[in-house]
Chain A
Amino acid sequence: MNKPMQYKSILTALLAVTAAFQFMNAAPRAFDFKDPKGVNNVQFKLDAPLESISGTGTGISGVVNFDPATPEKTSGKIELATESLTVGNPVMAEHLRGAHWLNVQEFPSIRFELDKLENIRSEKGQILGDAKGKLTIKDVTKEVKLPVRFTYLEGKLGDRLNDASIKGDLLVIRSQFSINRSDYNIQPGKNADKVAEEINLSLSIAGASLSQ
């Protein structure tokens, strides 16, 4: 092999090693879930024998660090402003946010802090897993494991904001799970005929990350 060919081979090998090293050390990117379009939402439904209550919460914020190549390194925190929770009946909404139920003055947010993403698998271009972390509602924090579905939308931020000059990616997180209200000190054992013990929750949120 002549000398220029040798140099070329060495250079190619060095570049490959550098690229591999960078890939291995690539830090997950931060996705901001504060949504200017007001699309991010949590829906809740309670089915009691005498009454069915459904409502939504839209005051979502938080940051999730995610890399589609290394989803096991995912970390982050999502918060929901309790003031944003509402139902169709204004009196009921007032009660929901009042001191006896969610007490939004004293507890302004519901938080989920991700410790670890487990049971990771891929399905139809989406990443599925179980998000193990701490869920805090009112003054109670509990370890929970929530089924989550990540959809990584590369280069779609500009499309979403109707501005092609903005370069960045989107991360959509979906989850459906249920909790018991008495576990979180929400009027435990009271009004069970009208307000169900089990709260079914459905989360659909999108976060944005600008390209650097």
Chain B
Amino acid sequence: MPLNRAHLLQLLGLFLLIATIGYWFAAGAHTGWSQTQVQVMQYDEITEIEYPVWIQQFVPGIELLSVGIFLSIILASLGFILSTQGRRADSEEPNHKHPPSR
């Protein structure tokens, strides 16, 4: 069923687009490159110095967002091509699917 596969790919593309943008926003919408550690400030009470401590945490960057959007466009495009081919095949072979009634 080429039409079903086409719809599936388009839905997958849409899902990937929403998931990528949603994840990127939820993780802080970082516009630089992805990071594997983030800086958390702590406070030394005696000296009153604020000092950074690095903790391991993944922050998606602009390259991950770009890859996600690119893949979703590819999936949606494939779905569109498949659905066009399916429709063309249907229109080219009408006799097989709908035999004339007498």
Q: Which residues of chain A have a CB within 8 Å of any CB of chain B?
A: 37-41, 43, 51-56, 58, 86, 88-92, 151, 153, 156, 159-160, 170, 172, 204-206
Contacts and interface: CB of A to CB of B under 8 A. Distances in A.
A91, A204, A205: most-surrounded residue (chain B CB, <10 A): A204
Given A160-B46, A170-B47, A88 B35 contact: yes
A51 B50 contact: no
B49 A204 contact: yes
- Give the interface size bracket for B toward A: 20 to 34
28 contacts: A39-B51, A40-B51, A51-B32, A52-B32, A55-B39, A56-B39, A56-B52, A56-B54, A86-B54, A88-B36, A88-B37, A88-B54, A89-B32, A89-B34, A89-B35, A89-B36, A89-B61, A91-B33, A92-B33, A151-B47, A153-B47, A159-B46, A160-B47, A172-B47, A172-B49, A204-B51, A206-B47, A206-B49
Interface string B17-43: 000000000000001111111110000
Given A39-B49, A88-B38, A90-B37, 18 more contacts: A39-B44, A39-B47, A51-B33, A52-B32, A54-B39, A56-B39, A86-B54, A88-B37, A89-B61, A153-B46, A160-B44, A172-B48, A172-B49, A204-B49, A204-B50, A204-B51, A206-B44, A206-B47
A37 B44 CA distance: 10
B32 to A, nearest CB: 5
Interface of B: 31-39, 44, 46-52, 54, 59, 61
Contacts of B44: 37, 39, 160, 206
A43 B35 contact: no
A88 B44 CA distance: 22
Nearest to B61: A89
Nearest to B62: A51
A156 B46 contact: yes
A41 B31 CA distance: 26
A168 to B, nearest CB: 12
Contacts of B35: 88-89
A51 B38 CA distance: 16
Nearest to B43: A39
Contacts of B32: 51-53, 89
A121 to B, nearest CB: 20
Nearest to B42: A39
A160 B48 CA distance: 11
Given A53-B32, A153-B47, A43 B52 contact: yes
A172 B33 CA distance: 35
A204 B38 CA distance: 20
A54, A89, A91, A92: most-surrounded residue (chain B CB, <10 A): A89
A53 B34 CA distance: 12
